[in-house]
Structure 1
Amino acid sequence: MVTGWSLSRRVFSVPVPLLTTNFDVKKGDLMLTLPVVVILVIINAILAGSRSVGGSGTIATLGLLLVFFFAIRNNVLLLELTGISFERALFYHKLFAYTTIVLSALHGLAYLLAHHHGDEQDKYSKVTTGTITLVAMVLLYAMSLSFIRRQYFFEVFMKTHWVLFITVFIAGVAHGNILKEERDTNMGVIASDHVSVAALAGNITRVSFPRVRRDTGEVFKFQAGQYAFLCIPSISKLQWHPFTISSAPHEDIVSFYIKASGDWTNTVFEATSNNDGTQFDILVDGPYGHVSTDLENPETYSHFALFAGGIGITPMRSILNWVHYEHSTLGRSEIKTVRFAWAIPNLDAVKALIDSIVPNGEERAVPVGYFSREIYRDDASSAFHSDFYVSGDVEDPVDQQLGHCLHYGSCFDRIAILRGLGEQAKRDGKDRVAVLVYS
């Protein structure tokens, strides 16, 4: 794991001027990924020129395997060897998808050249399945373009991605005459009992369930900052949406806070508002992802700057309460200072998130409240210092304990916060500060 973190932080996460900004290409990509892509294309071009149908098909198959490999959630092999997260792996998934289209086209060219020179006989089934595979991959590429995926047809993109992926898989297997039984490796966790869904202020829906199921003893294990996919079959059996886990790993209740901002999230909020406390059968698939900053190793960081905006508080809450638990309960004395700043347009989110009602009467493993008390306690000796900046609302005594934390009509000055924290780190003999931002 140490080697993985080293590769991720020192190679694959190092930005390159212009390339990172415009194309998301980093140092590790220039050293390894792009050369691999170029080598694959050159080899297949040579094979196509020599009319090697089988050889060019093998290279195209290798490219397709890499596409599938980088699309795997919780890719333990990739994470352990390199420290590359699933989110970054999606970049390589797209890169090798584009590359595979080129490799497949070269494979088709190899067949056309071989057929033209009499090296290959007519193989209508091969041509049909190969054409279907290539066309499906091109359509996948077209539907994945950012202006289509993000602005217009996200739901269409998701559904066609699955349909076309299945098409590519079936046609590809038939094209290569490889018939295998595929096992269903769905690792989703079904949380159908003891689920609580509540509508809160600010059009926020809270979904909660016990971390340990009382009927089976099954434990939902996760790390701070991770996310999971949620599906509510009574609303839609086909829609799975990713949400960050708001709870810390040590807490008894696993919670998700969902802001109503789209068709599905609005439907969930409306259904919950019409009958507060409604019980839903919920499917949970996860957890996935990990925080890119090494927070677990006590020797790496002792000073932390945490910035959140709006509903971005949900992953930050998980991280912040976990860091506090490490410091106060597990005695992690290496944690010296944690500065937390949260910018919000109004007090609705604060009113929703400081709600200390515990779903289904479950007991907490931590003090009541959305955060542990010390995190927003007015104590100069505390390692934790929090400030909530409300930009568009009037002063309102939401909670007496938050009085010194709330600042109205302004936003946090991240430069000043980082400069001050950096100076304090130097005084403590440290040369680095962990910075996390969620919005």
Structure 2
Amino acid sequence: MSNWVINQGLSAFILVVWMGINIFLFVYYYLLYDLGPQFEYTRELLGSALCWARAPAAVLNFNCMLILLPVCRNLLSLLRGSLICCGRTMRKQLDKNLTFHKLVAYMIALMTGLTGVVITLALILMITSSVEVIRRNYFEVFWYTHHLFIVFFAGLVFHGAGRIVRSQQVTNPPHDNSFCEDQPESWGEIDKCPVPQFAGGFPQTWMWVIGPMIIYLCERLLRFIRYMQSVSYRKIVIHPSKVLELQLMKPGFKMEVGQYVFLNCPAISQLEWHPFTMTSAPEEDFFSVHIRLVGDWTEKLIKMVENLPEGGQGPKMAVDGPFGTASEDVFDYEVSMLVGAGIGVTPFASILKSIWYKFKDSDPKLRTKRIYFYWLCRETYAFEWFADLLQVLEKDMEERGMRDFLTYKLYLTGWDQSHVNHAMVHFDKDRDIITGLKQKTGYGRPNWDREFEQIRQENPSSVVGTFLCGPQALAKDLEKKCVKYSDVDPRKTKFYFNKENF
């Protein structure tokens, strides 16, 4: 339990606070409309429907205020840079922005089912098109339907403009409302119960959402400005396994390790923006991305590049970013454990390149004393585009007498017996037959219990940052291992889990 608190305690606390505010708002407004004297006549006319309509509306307003903030990426990057004094534990919460965005959306869906047909239909389309299988395989469907948020917020703001929910006005002379509440047949017949006068309440939803809407509009304005800025190509490379490398240049562009950008290709679609982690280092005068063929957009882009004449420039490209990620914190840990699956190695390419540059000219003063790097791939040729960098790093660390600084292990997960037989025949060779590295490629998946135990033994009093860019199933496994192998004793090893989210 104590180990779980180390990795998930703050996240759970934030979730409890958010849920507590929702419960408080629901209960408070339910009791207000159920017991408040100013709504006694309205309750007589509408019954329990009044409080069951207004209590969810209050929760709806609160969550609609929050829903846009987690997708304001420039705001999150700004907060990440300004929260250095607050420590990495607080910054980790910013990496869960999309998870929180989804939670808020589910709460809105629960509360809106009671308040508006147009809002409900727009929300249903947005949520159903956001499920993993559609978002991954039919990104365009997700992208276009998600822009129904414009209809959603328009309906939300104008939903209360009709002032349908009304409360009675103060009468002259004042009278005992409770006496008349249960005698609607006597309204206007006796002096004690004059005919009640009703007036609609002032719309309040816009006051909850106006701030986040302004922030989001500023985000979109900034994106438009970046869209108009020129981007030039430095180099275009098509690697094995249909991986496209774009080396791009943009005036005034500055990045940090592990950050990502959104790319837009107007020749394919002027509205679609797709996120890609940069594989270049901050020390380079360009920035690069590696794009794997997944979905229609990447397929069209790769075909356009393949059909370019020799020496021709690629299609017009717009770049939004860079934006911060969990990988920025790699050098804040004494020991870092990097795990990449397939193309998920991209943020770690940036980190390892930066390490090479830091060691190239001088002896850098890094807080990080050791890095463990794991790369899992299904195909042998997927290793090719990244193996060159590892060979340079391997040689450089040996020459500096820092062989223990970088420990890397590569695993081929999509293997058959022929791969194993081939490896056994060439087992006595100094270098791996697949990558050309001294470290031999493993077959299958890592034994994570053994790996975590080894790291804990080699770093008995260190804080280990575990970083993953890969599938959710692997994330759950690694997160459990971080909890299992962390010690509550501050003098012993602790593992902190971090995952890339887009």
TM-score higher than 0.5: yes
Partner of 1:234: helix, strand, or coil?
Answer: coil
Deviations 1:247-306 (A, max 9, x none): 122222211011112222122222222226542211111222411684343xxx322222
Amino acid at match of 1:143: S
Correspondence for 1:62: 62
Between the aligned partners of 2:120 and 2:444, the Cα distance in structure 1 is 54
The reply to whether residue 193 of structure 1 matches residue 232 of structure 2 is yes
Structure 1 unaligned segments of length 5 or more: list them. 1-8, 17-25, 109-129, 355-368
Correspondence for 2:292: 259
Amino acid at match of 2:96: R
Matches within 5 A, 1:158-169: 158-162=143-147, 164-169=148-153
2:8 maps to which of 3, 7, 14:
14
The reply to whether residue 351 of structure 1 matches residue 372 of structure 2 is no
Correspondence for 1:207: 246
8 Å Cα contact 1:386/1:405 also seen in 2: yes
The reply to whether residue 244 of structure 1 matches residue 229 of structure 2 is no
Between the aligned partners of 2:56 and 2:379, the Cα distance in structure 1 is 59
Between the aligned partners of 1:15 and 1:208, the Cα distance in structure 2 is 40
1:33 maps to which of 18, 30, 45:
18
Amino acid at match of 1:251: E
1:432 maps to which of 456, 463, 475:
463
Q: By how many angstroms is 1:203 displaced?
A: 0.7
Partner of 2:68: helix, strand, or coil?
Answer: helix
8 Å Cα contact 2:260/2:324 also seen in 1: yes
Partner of 1:194: helix, strand, or coil?
Answer: strand
Amino acid at match of 1:171: G
Partner of 2:105: helix, strand, or coil?
Answer: helix
Between the aligned partners of 2:259 and 2:99, the Cα distance in structure 1 is 19
Correspondence for 1:230: 263
8 Å Cα contact 2:327/2:347 also seen in 1: no
Identity %: 24
1:321 maps to which of 350, 353, 357:
353
Q: By how many angstroms is 1:64 displaced?
A: 0.9
Partner of 1:229: helix, strand, or coil?
Answer: strand
Mark the CA change 1:253 to 1:371 in structure 2 (over 3 Å): closer, same or farther.
farther
Partner of 1:416: helix, strand, or coil?
Answer: helix
Correspondence for 1:221: 254
Between the aligned partners of 2:356 and 2:453, the Cα distance in structure 1 is 23
8 Å Cα contact 2:342/2:382 also seen in 1: yes
Amino acid at match of 1:283: A
**Which is further off, 397-406 or 234-243?**
397-406
Partner of 2:459: helix, strand, or coil?
Answer: helix
8 Å Cα contact 1:75/1:86 also seen in 2: no
Between the aligned partners of 1:319 and 1:45, the Cα distance in structure 2 is 53
Amino acid at match of 2:314: Q
Coordinate RMSD, CA, aligned: 3.8
Q: By how many angstroms is 1:200 displaced?
A: 1.8
Correspondence for 1:141: 127
Deviations 1:114-168 (A, max 9, x none): xxxxxxxxxxxxxxxx5423432343334334555456x5431221111x10101
Between the aligned partners of 2:432 and 2:264, the Cα distance in structure 1 is 33
Amino acid at match of 1:31: V
Structure 2 unaligned segments of length 5 or more: list them. 40-49, 162-205, 471-502
8 Å Cα contact 2:246/2:289 also seen in 1: yes
Partner of 2:232: helix, strand, or coil?
Answer: coil
8 Å Cα contact 1:231/1:240 also seen in 2: yes
Between the aligned partners of 2:286 and 2:380, the Cα distance in structure 1 is 24
**Which is further off, 371-380 or 227-236?**
371-380
Between the aligned partners of 1:400 and 1:62, the Cα distance in structure 2 is 55
8 Å Cα contact 1:308/1:343 also seen in 2: yes
The reply to whether residue 373 of structure 1 matches residue 392 of structure 2 is yes
Correspondence for 1:126: none
Count residues with an aligned counterpart. 372
Between the aligned partners of 2:330 and 2:106, the Cα distance in structure 1 is 35
Partner of 2:96: helix, strand, or coil?
Answer: helix
Between the aligned partners of 1:376 and 1:417, the Cα distance in structure 2 is 24
Mark the CA change 1:268 to 1:304 in structure 2 (over 3 Å): closer, same or farther.
same
Correspondence for 2:326: 291
